[in-house]
Amino acid sequence: MIPILNKEIEIDSASLRDPSGHVFHYKDKIYRVINEDTFSLIKELKDRNILTELIDNGFLIPTDILSKKDSIYEELKSCFPAEQNFLSHRKIPMITYPYEWSYSMLVDAAILTLKLQLALIRKGYSLKDATAYNIQFINCKPVFIDILSIEKSPRLDIWIAYGQFCKMFLYPLLLNKFKNFDIKGYYLSNINGMDIQEVTRIFGISGSLRPLLFLDIFLPYLLGKKALANTDRLKSFISKEKISSKPQEINLRRLLHKIESKLRYRYKKGYWINYMSEHTYPAESEREKKSFIKGFLDNSSPKSVLDLGSNTGQYSRLAAESGANVIAVDSDHDCINHLYEYARDNHLSILPIWTDLTNTSPAIGFENTERKSFLERINCECVFALALLHHLLITSRIPLYRIRDYLYKMTGKYLVIEFIDNQDLMFQKLLALRENLYDLITYQYFADIFSEKFDFICKKEIKNTKRTLVLFRKK
């Protein structure tokens, strides 16, 4: 463990397994302390202009090598007296994990990893790690964040991290396509991915013979069994120096073609993806709702917005167009996938997250510290809770005061919430075949409960509906 002499230093637990260095937070910025060998490699990449090229092409997170002349260097040195080498990284607004990504997000993350590896081997370098956790999204653009995964590899004809790439990217995509296997469950149950034996068992030997599976599942399964029987021969094979990268380039381009042409498209079939078009307000009411929210965005100019129950992102887009960085959360995969593709293609500052608000992503990994829980990572100035309250009340049976407390935790300053009267048509539909426990849920009761932790600013009753938009400020 690195000795720390400053309480402001927070070591990022996600890097605890890395022997080459550790990420840490200091004064709201991100740094990394690295050992001498790793520093020499990073310096070489910098001197050869490879580091700058990879950053400019959008492959790597913007990174600087701190020199002893930098004003912050002596501060960091005093915190880590035994260390000499530091990097600074661009801060990621919101850390996400693959079990929160939609299918298209996983596809784009896989493509970025392959393209980065191609760019590296052409320069004589390679990725020694190909885990999905090395990818983060800035809005809807994936970027590789673990610069210490780059190495000089003696075997440029093969990719040592190919097996890890399959476990962390290719297998979940194939399982989802052919077996409708849940991506979220894949990662939460297998933090390091599923091994080839288990994947082959799911597909079956005969199923693994199909064209899209043969080279990356059936063949590795057979070769793996032989390799386990003779590990000395395997080590000897890997250690032999090969200077030509052509065989690996062919394989990487094959993988790229497979993912881009065979696995990219996913049919959108979820129920909630059509909700906005099938259950929308009358035109006048919809204009009133948008006008209220746009007025708030124009007057208050929140820098960040958390849109809870975003559906396909109608109001996330309004917030993004106003200049806010938006995190859009929904439990419906196809809604999040649709929003991601739209925001990506239109370059909107929206980060979609696939998670259930009543069962958000937990803290996992060693001592439950390597991957933080959803609530630990959320930090937004404003929260939208539009057309959400009745779902939490009725479908999920969450008491109103607990909903208030939950929203309070996530709200930085402003809360825009839509109150739905118990006579509302959708309220009544959700209540069908359930015991009616909600006669006391009037607007006044709602306002009294929320006023204990929020200050009322203004409200707007939406014409021709049983709904009221309310703007609160956190106490």
pLDDT digits (tens, 9 = 90+) for 399-410: 999 999 999 999
Pairwise pLDDT comparison (233 vs 262), residue with the higher score: 262
How large is the angle between the packed helices 196-203 and 171-179, nearest 10 degrees?
Answer: 10
Element containing residue 416 per DSSP (H, E): strand 411-420
Residues recorded for the chain: 475
The closest alpha carbon to 111, from 58, 149, 70, 38, belongs to 58
pLDDT higher than 80, residue 271: no
pLDDT higher than 70, residue 467: yes
Integer CA distances (angstroms), 69 to 49, 65, 73, 75, in order: 21, 11, 7, 12
The closest alpha carbon to 112, from 98, 93, 91, belongs to 98
pLDDT band at 464; cut points 50, 70, 90? confident
pLDDT higher than 60, residue 229: no
Pick the CATH number of 274-474 from 3.30.750.24, 3.40.50.150, 3.40.190.170, 3.40.710.10: 3.40.50.150
The pLDDT score that the predictor gives to residue 463 is 87
Strands 126-127 and 150-151: antiparallel
Instruction: Indicate the residue type of 178.
Output: F
Q: Are the C-beta atoms of 293 and 469 separated by less than 8 Å?
A: yes
* Share of residues in the chain with pLDDT > 90 (%): 73
Helices (H), 242-386: 246-257, 275-278, 283-300, 314-321, 333-345, 374-377
Instruction: Indicate the residue type of 465.
Output: T
The mean pLDDT value of the chain amounts to 90
Q: Is the dihedral of CA 390, 391, 392, 398 positive or negative?
A: positive
Average pLDDT over residues 136-152: 96
Instruction: Indicate the residue type of 249.
Output: E
- Give the residue extent of every domain in the chain: 10-89, 98-263, 274-474
Integer CA distances (angstroms), 415 to 115, 191, 300, 305, 412, in order: 41, 35, 12, 10, 8
Q: Are the C-beta atoms of 348 and 140 separated by less than 8 Å?
A: yes
The pLDDT score that the predictor gives to residue 243 is 73
Q: Are the C-beta atoms of 339 and 268 separated by less than 8 Å?
A: no
The pLDDT score that the predictor gives to residue 24 is 92
Q: Are the C-beta atoms of 155 and 238 separated by less than 8 Å?
A: yes
Residues 327-376 pLDDT 10s: 999 999 999 999 999 999 999 999 999 999 999 999 999 999 999 999 99
pLDDT higher than 90, residue 418: yes
pLDDT band at 269; cut points 50, 70, 90? low
Q: Is the dihedral of CA 333, 291, 139, 11 positive or negative?
A: negative
Average pLDDT over residues 190-195: 94
Residues 382-392 pLDDT 10s: 999 999 998 89
pLDDT band at 168; cut points 50, 70, 90? very high
Helices (H), 346-410: 374-377, 389-390, 400-410
Pairwise pLDDT comparison (162 vs 426), residue with the higher score: 162
The pLDDT score that the predictor gives to residue 92 is 95
Residues 63-92 pLDDT 10s: 999 999 998 999 998 888 888 999 999 999
Cβ neighbours for 433, distance < 8 A, ≥ 6 positions apart = none
b (16+ CB within 10 A) / e for 265-297: ebeeeeebbebbeeeebeeeeeebbeebbeebb
The pLDDT score that the predictor gives to residue 1 is 45
Strands 467-474 and 29-34: unpaired
DSSP sequence for 187-240: HHH-TT---HHHHHHHH-TTGGGSHHHIIIIIHHHHHHHHHHH-HHHHHHHHHS
Q: Per mean pLDDT, which range of 86-100, 130-144, 215-229 is the poorest?
A: 215-229
d(CA 249, CA 259): 15
